[in-house]
Structure 1
Amino acid sequence: MAETVHPFYAQHRNAMEAAMRHRLDLAEAMLCERAHVSDIHAIRREVMDEFEIVLTQMPYVGGTASRMSDFFMRLMGFMAISRVLRRHGVPLPVIGEIERETYKAQLLTVPEAERLASGRQFMSSENQALLREQAAKSTNASHQDAFPEDFVYDFVEPGPGDKFEFGINYKACGFCKFAARHGDKDILPNICGLDFDAYATRGIRLERTQTLAGGASHCNFRFSRLPSE
């Protein structure tokens, strides 16, 4: 029996597919120049076909009740791009560069005022309260039993001398679990690299010195506001 897309992701399928097509538009020149793609139309079709497979593989972690659902919907498409380029022999560092530059270009199509407002909301005391609540929920045994593919994380308060406003320690990563399950461990670091631009384009400085994908015990995200120009 053919695999199906979870109903939650099916509701957002059109938007996710449109975002993928937009990424491929933005990446086209880089794919030709750096990945030496000769038939860009064939690559586009192959990526969109692979994305259909990724959609059936995406784990459900609670829908709108989980902030991590949005992470999956925004970033999992890069797994499809990575898989296709890897099959075509493109070196992993080149894949990472293309994906990061493509994602940044896509993020910058959002008006600056909207991006910065989103960043202020993320850094707000209200959102920090939500993060504390969801972090505590993520470590709950019943939640982990219900959503074993979800992220597990702690909210980190700054200590004396710390220059960040707050942090998150991811002790288990949904992308790592996905990569281990589907044979994508080698392309996983490229997904991790997207985080920096995702926050910087919203006026947020992300500092991170280790990742689960790199073999650490946790990913240490530390957030502060970038100075306004």
Structure 2
Amino acid sequence: MALHPFYESHRGAMEAAMRHRLDLAEPMLRERAYLSDMGGIKREVMDEFEIVLTQMPYVGGAASRMSDFFMRLIGFMAISRVLRRHGVPLPVIGEIERETYKAQLLTEPEAERLAAGRQFMSRENQALLREQAAKSHLQEFPEDFVYDFVAPGPRDSFEFGINYRACGFCKFAARHGDKEILPNICGLDFDAYATRGIRLERTQTLAGGANHCDFRFSRLPAD
């Protein structure tokens, strides 16, 4: 199956990010997953990543904020699949992936990360999120996310929220037999926001059986 042209244009960057991720994960793969043939494991993951890329659904390309989520996180599906085949327990896979992702995020300069966080929390971005949330309900792309923008009530401490009613990763996992590794993908969200100076609070997920994921965002206090 051919890769969608939008993803093909980003293929080099995605593959480079995966190789970097595997280099960062190597010590943990040795010490916690008890794997020794790192060259073989890395090749196996990159081969699986090529399969995952062709499975990745197109959800609107540059016009959809969710394309970036797929491009940044879908590689963890490949890592999870390979580690499961090697008998690594799911909680260990989750820990390794989360710590690897955090280490990768922290290689970006702090000033850039915090600037991205401020942009995400800005009024302008909140307005954009409202627009994209409304558009998501049109379900132009069946494999996409569907979500609502949530404004805080008078007693709420968060600045804004998103309720995900349908999740592209859940749909992907159901289609390709990855349901048991799906919660590990959900676990990556907290560090993705924290490294940008944002506190994510979430009490439930679609992957965990709830009818929506309740993301609530607020700024972390500056050090």
Partner of 2:15: 17
Deviation at 1:199, TM superposition (A): 0.1
Q: Deviations over 1:2-59 (max 9, x none)?
A: x111110000000000000000000000000000002010000000000000000000
Instruction: Flag structure 1 segments of 5+ consecutive residues without an equivalent.
Output: none
**4+ residue runs over 2 A deviation:** none
Query: How far apart, in 2, do the equivalents of 1:224 and 1:73 lie?
Result: 25
Query: 3-state SS of the aligned residue for 1:113?
Result: helix
Partner of 1:159: 153
Q: CA RMSD in A?
A: 0.4
Partner of 1:148: 142
Query: How far apart, in 2, do the equivalents of 1:5 and 1:37 lie?
Result: 31
Instruction: Flag structure 2 segments of 5+ consecutive residues without an equivalent.
Output: none
Q: Deviations over 1:134-170 (max 9, x none)?
A: 0000012xxx1x3000000000000011000000000
Query: How far apart, in 1, do the equivalents of 2:53 and 2:137 lie?
Result: 26
Query: How far apart, in 1, do the equivalents of 2:42 and 2:80 lie?
Result: 12
Alignment of 1:1-229 (within 5 A): 3-140=1-138, 144=139, 146-229=140-223
- TM-score, length basis structure 2: 1.00
**Corresponding letter in the other structure for 2:130:** R
Query: How far apart, in 1, do the equivalents of 2:111 and 2:39 lie?
Result: 35
Tell me how many residue pairs correspond in the alignment.
223
Query: 3-state SS of the aligned residue for 1:221?
Result: strand
- TM-score, length basis structure 1: 0.97
Query: How far apart, in 2, do the equivalents of 1:6 and 1:35 lie?
Result: 34
Percent of counterpart pairs with the same letter? 86
